[in-house]
A = this chain, B = another copy of it.
Amino acid sequence: MSHHLTKDMAIETPDALSKMDIRVYYEDTDAGGVMYYANYLKFFERGRTEWLRRLGVNQSELAAKEHRIFVIKKVEIQYRKPARLDDLLAIHSQITRLGRASIHFDQSALRNGELLCESSIQVGCVDANTFRPAGLTHELKTLLEKAQN
């Protein structure tokens, strides 16, 4: 789960590394006064989704046309410091490995450059009906490989 977030990518760049700013609202917090631990996974999914959208991948179209959806196979997540109400978090998303039917991401949440939370997330591509692994389409793989380099 090492991170090398040295590049400060413009948000439009269809590159391996991307950044999305997300605000912490009341819905994201809990009675401990901080962001609820499960909700980082929502922020990370928004980050992955926008990363894919910038590449030209729309997940609802992928489901409708190719009958493929992405499911999460494995998550490792470490919480370093709590995020609080009204914080603006920078979600960094980086593709680390492409499998036949999987995409591996490193994702992290930073506040003013300070690392709050980091994760490694393994996403599987499956058939929308059977949920059995389905290889990434050639078009998708080409897009992702280009982004990875």
A residues in contact (CB < 8 Å) with B: 23, 25-27, 29-34, 36-39, 41-42, 45-46, 49-50, 58-61, 63, 69, 71-79, 81-82, 84-86, 128, 131
Contacts and interface: CB of A to CB of B under 8 A. Distances in A.
Number of copies of this chain that the complex holds? 4
B45 A25 contact: yes
Contacts of A46: 23, 25, 27
Contacts of A34: 31, 71, 131
Contact of A42 (B25, B59, B84): B25
Contacts of A50: 23
Max chain B C-beta neighbours (<10 A), residue from A23, A29, A74: A29
A104 to B, nearest CB: 14
Given A31-B33, A58-B86, A75 B76 contact: yes
